[in-house]
Amino acid sequence: MTAKEEIDMVTKAVKSSLALRNWEKLRRNKLAMIGFCIVAFMILCAVCAPLLTPYSPTDIDLGSRIKPPSLSHPLGTDKLGRDVLSRLLYGARVSILIGLSGALGGAVIGTIIGCISGYFGGWFDKVMLRVSEIFMTFPQIILVLILVVYFGQGLMNLIFIFSISGWPGTYRLVRGKFFSLREENYVEACRAYGIGELSIMFRHILPNTFSPVIVTVTLSTAGYILAESGLSFLGLGVPSGIPTWGNIINSAKAIDVISNNPWLWLPPGLAISLFVLGVNFFGDGLRDVLDPNQ
């Protein structure tokens, strides 16, 4: 067995032991586990939507308009006779997809740019640092609104907008980590063995920055779900024909509906609040576990 193979075996053993310790710490965090259970349950309900409701979220039944909750419609129907429960479950798919995809897209962009900027420095680092400062000058919701006006509404457009507006935070986080890690002894050892720069960046340094990035993705997902709901409520998010939590609330924003038909706006509002609360609980628990300063 070569020295490199022995080092790889030791590294795998250490990572496995560290993963087990982190899981035990996370499992003992009650709020984090409550958040994980909430998120897992709601995602499972969204995935199993066809099994939980026989109705399509877009089927119109004018004979069943604005019916209160009953055995046939557990959460009632809206002003077009559409089943609220089915719209809530299928809308969860779209809202969670937008939030998670936007957070992952921003994290990927920020991580790649942060790796290159933090490892090589130089003119590229200076340019990208100024660009990130320009992005962070605007409140993100204002920047998102500007980009929505420019690119237009749509599911993929919204994911793209969240991705390109959310990368600076991850970029600065990864860049700062790379500035400190690139001077470590194991990096010098890699260079001495003749390992290429890209391999050092993405195989040896990048895995050591994943912990804060994972936490950032988790918390950003909750923020983007709230942003999607707000944009859809204003009529600037996903087109109204696609069920999302924001669109469901948008269709129930009339004063008479708010006063007389609470089943049209209360369930999606509770769903958004519960999911965001669960994600924040779980994200805080992950931060406590993965942050070496804790």
Q: Is residue 76 domain-resident?
A: no
Residue 73 phi, psi dihedral angles, 5° rounding: -130, 90
Kindly tell me the number of DSSP H helices and DSSP E strands found in the chain.
14, 0
Q: Which is higher by pLDDT, 53 or 183?
A: 53
Q: Is residue 67 domain-resident?
A: no
Q: Is residue 78 domain-resident?
A: no
Report pLDDT for 104.
92
Q: Does residue 222 have a pLDDT over 50?
A: yes
Domain CATH code at residue 98: 1.10.3720.10
- pLDDT-derived band at 15, boundaries 50, 70, 90: low
Task: List the Cα angle 149/152/153 in 5-degree steps.
Answer: 115
pLDDT, tens only, 96-147: 999 999 999 999 999 999 888 888 888 888 899 899 888 888 887 888 888 8
Provide the number of structural domains found in the chain: 1
Q: Is residue 125 domain-resident?
A: yes
The Cβ of residue 135 has, within 10 Å, a number of other Cβ atoms equal to 16
Cα first-last separation, the chain? 38
Q: Is residue 99 domain-resident?
A: yes
Q: Is residue 6 domain-resident?
A: no
- Going by the DSSP 8-state scheme, the letter that residue 209 receives in this structure is G
Report pLDDT for 257.
79
Report pLDDT for 38.
93
Q: Is residue 206 domain-resident?
A: yes
- pLDDT-derived band at 3, boundaries 50, 70, 90: very low
Identify residue 50 by its one-letter amino acid code.
P
Q: Which is higher by pLDDT, 98 or 260?
A: 98
Q: Is residue 169 domain-resident?
A: yes
**Which residue range(s) make up the domain with 217?**
23-53+84-290
User: Which of the given ranges, 95-104, 144-153, 209-218, 238-247, has the highest pLDDT on average?
Assistant: 95-104
Cα distance between residue 169 and residue 103, in whole Å: 11
Report pLDDT for 11.
52
Identify residue 68 by its one-letter amino acid code.
P
